[in-house]
Amino acid sequence: MQSARTVPKKPFYAHLWVQVLIAIVFAVALGYFSPARAIAMKPLGDAFIRLITMIISLIIFCTVVSGIASMQDIRKVGRVGGMALLYFELVSTLALFIGLVVGNLVHPGSGFNVSPANLDAKAVADFAGQAKAQSVTEFLLHIIPTTVVDAFAKGDILQVVFVAILFGLALSALGDRGKPVVTLLDSLAEVVFGIVNILMRLAPIGAFGAMAFTVGKYGVASLGPLARLIGTFYLTSILFVLLVLGLVGVLAGFSIVKFLAYIKEEILLVLAISSSEPAIPTLMEKLEKLGCSKALVGLVVPAGYTFNTDGTSIYMTLAALFVAQATNTHLSLGQQLTIFAVATLTSKGASGVQGAAFIALVATLNVIPTIPVAGMALILGIDRFMSMFRALVNMIGNGVATLVVARWEGELTRDNLKENLAK
């Protein structure tokens, strides 16, 4: 009897996370020693992001439609969506509050004594033109695309999810007559995930291009004057993940540290490219491997990129207080609570896309006329470095949210979740 052949262990350099990490190190070195060449690497990062984002809508559509159509209990769709939204609002609102508290305790903008008259208002003018605080009605109407094709053409994740839910419910109602379409979509999803696996081999190149551009364009030296704000935001983000999300993980029956180790490739990728959207496909795939159903992953993860913006929430209240403190603008408790209330709405939809959180913050500050919006010019140069951790916390928060909802639904037990994370 022949002994079973053991699968040879991959050398450490063959792992994607190691390759991405090495690429980041080389990118930082190039950006520091040869900024001009580093800036020229930008197309590598942009090309990789476009390669991944071009198929995200298709992945989400196939996953959501197939998952809903195969559900025995359609009421589960509404239940999962309701629980996910409840969780999103509770945690993201807590993140906004934490940013507000930290800003008041640390005072990262104190000592700048910047006169609004000396600020470059033109630098923020383009962002101010894009900034617009949406009403609840406008936000809800935006979920409905002009046409079905328009949702895919724009790549609006929430609109794609909306279309996919309707399509899935209609297929489910057809019963056996809809099975051929479901089978086709399942096969299409496998092909698309196969494409993702091919494209992810280019992740080190994309990470190199994006990080080299960031360091070459803005320079490590640019972090100096605003080190207090960056350090405060980074430390707050880390503590939020380890303590707040860590506590959520304990209550749900898993270790946040083990989960972070499980998604280390996605973490490094998001840090390098400062955007969380390209990590969606592989994050969804890994969550399914942990035992979450395809339908639940397809509903929670894409919706979370709009409604569950923990990193963006911390940034918005903290940065708003920084601008006020740096320009010696006194904010009453009522004004701070107004910023908090407005940010609960403007922070939605500010995940994934680079610069979206900055625009959302400009829209928030427009509500408080006493804060000079031109003050945003102070942090414009370091926004790329801030966006790294914004996107990272957003991505981790969505992964944790999916596991929590899956536990609520009984799809996972503490034992099998711990066992799968330990593999």
Overall size of the chain counted in residues: 423
At 400 the pLDDT is 95
Output the DSSP codes for 268-307.
HHHHHHT-SGGGHHHHHHHHHHTT--HHHHHHHHHHHHHH
Average pLDDT, the chain: 83
Summarised one tens digit per residue, pLDDT across range 361-405 is: 877 777 777 877 777 777 877 788 888 899 899 999 999 999 999
At 172 the pLDDT is 82
Summarised one tens digit per residue, pLDDT across range 120-133 is: 555 555 554 555 55
* Mean pLDDT computed over 157-163: 84
Counting residues of the chain whose pLDDT is more than 90, the rounded percentage is 22
Confidence check: pLDDT of 268 > 60: yes
Q: CA 304, CA 336: separation in Å to the nearest integer?
A: 26
At 350 the pLDDT is 55
At 94 the pLDDT is 95
- CA-CA distances (angstroms) from residue 243 to 76, 104, 114, 234, 333? 30, 20, 35, 14, 27
* Mean pLDDT computed over 108-135: 62
Q: Are 127 and 358 in contact (CB under 8 A)?
A: yes
Which range has the worst mean pLDDT, 69-83, 283-297, 347-361? 347-361
In which band, very low, low, confident or very high, does the pLDDT at 233 lie, cut at 50, 70 and 90? Answer: very high
* Mean pLDDT computed over 232-252: 95
Q: CA 341, CA 364: separation in Å to the nearest integer?
A: 9
At 223 the pLDDT is 66
Q: List domains and CATH numbers for the chain.
A: 13-422 (1.10.3860.10)
Confidence check: pLDDT of 2 > 50: no
At 3 the pLDDT is 45
Summarised one tens digit per residue, pLDDT across range 187-231 is: 888 898 888 889 888 889 988 988 888 888 877 766 666 788 989
* Distant-in-sequence, close-in-space partners of 412: CB < 8 Å, separation ≥ 6: 253, 290, 291, 292, 403, 406
Confidence check: pLDDT of 135 > 70: no
At 73 the pLDDT is 66
